[in-house]
Structure 1
Amino acid sequence: MTGTTTAVAALSDVDKWYGDAHVLRSVDLTVDRGEIVALVGRSGSGKSTILRVLAGLSTDHTGRREVAGHPAVAFQEPRLFPWKTLRQNVSYGLNTAGVTGEPALAAADATLAEVGLEDKRDAWPLTLSGGQAQRAALARALVGEPELLLLDEPFGALDALTRLSMQSLLLDLWSRHGFGILLVTHDVDEAVALADRVLVLEDGAVIDSVTVPLPRPRDRGTSEFSRLRTHLLGALGVH
């Protein structure tokens, strides 16, 4: 990205095929520094493909992709290494970037403390609850201080109360660090509760963009929240 732009991610006129399937169609998308953008759509609409393009995990597309620095990614499954402690899991990303030894471990400890897992740094992943494992996955993504965080249904496998707790934690981390977020979600309520903008994807194309002007923390019981939810459900074909 250029030094004069506030964007930490941009796609311009991006198309992608899987064989004969045209999965992304002229996609334009930006995420500004300090902005949360949610991407909603039915299964198979191309949401995860957009995330993979932005993450650099899928490169055989046409059009322009620009991303600031090295984006961090967290998925629905925590994808922790079961043979490594949480401290080792979180420091792994720094190790691959050439940061090793005590500096990497100290950074891992500090990030684990931020997500409330300072007392679990020597624990094995298989001993964690679902919420704890997802907190550890967030710590691993954030330890390198990315400018862009890409989230693919990160809370989809959690129970309702843990999901709300994780949403609150994400907003707290975002407010402290100011990174941009692209959140892929099936949950329209989650999109309205967290995002500054919500993009609706259908058949690989962005068909709607909705600004969410509500102050945070957001009351899901207000008429404006309900209006935005109803609008997005209608754009998704749910009536």
Structure 2
Amino acid sequence: MPAKGKHRRPKSSTLNRGIAAAGTGGAVLVLPVLGATAAHAAPAATATVAKPAAGPSTYVVVAGDSLSGIADKHSVSGGWESLFKNNRDVLGDNPGLIHPGLKLTLGTKGAAEPQRADQRADRSERDDAAAARPAAAPAKKTYTNDLDGWIKESLDILAQHGIPGTYEGIHRNVMRESSGNPLAINNWDSNAVAGTPSKGLLQVIAPTFAAYHVPGTSLDSYDPVANITAACNYAADRYGSIDNVNGPY
């Protein structure tokens, strides 16, 4: 009886199982056997698809570059024509004139990045706050300190109070009464003899100035604007308008 022992098949290597001999007239060729059991074959490489860059990016030209080469290398949508179109501001009209150091935009310039909801909300709040703020008061109008400025300021005050008068009518009477001197005074006529001399640009006596003084102007009858407005108020009451006065009044 044969001695008891462990019986096992000799381990065969994967190399042996995958090799067969073929005769070639005296020589033996060792050929790999390709079969359906080639489980140890290297897995096929998985193709990697590059994700498009998020938004425009830039590229700095180096020696030897061309627009077509840059477009191919960076997968620019639309090729070199698109690259040229999006960089006309730096390339000019000739796509062949690029030089080292030139910075090109690889995407489409001016592509607006979509706003996030919180950004839109912030902007809306700012707009609402701006709308809620009271409008700034208009700048105060200024006038020159001369006859032209005094008449223009007087006309604005007269308009606020509904008192008629024009630049020409005021100017004509001022030049006749005082020659444009706001400190003019008449010390020789009947008013002066009565103790109430005519004063200022339109030669107004004190009682008339007090009776026809326009609120918001100076109480000094020598003040050019106060003198004009009081005289125009008196002329409007007596003659309809300072424009109707063509002589002593």
Range into which the TM-score falls when normalised by the shorter chain: under 0.3
Instruction: Compare CA radii of gyration and give the structure with the larger one.
Output: 2
| Structure with the larger RCO, 1 or 2 (CA within 8 Å, 6+ apart) | 1
Of Structure 1 and Structure 2, which has the larger fraction of its residues in strand? Answer: 1
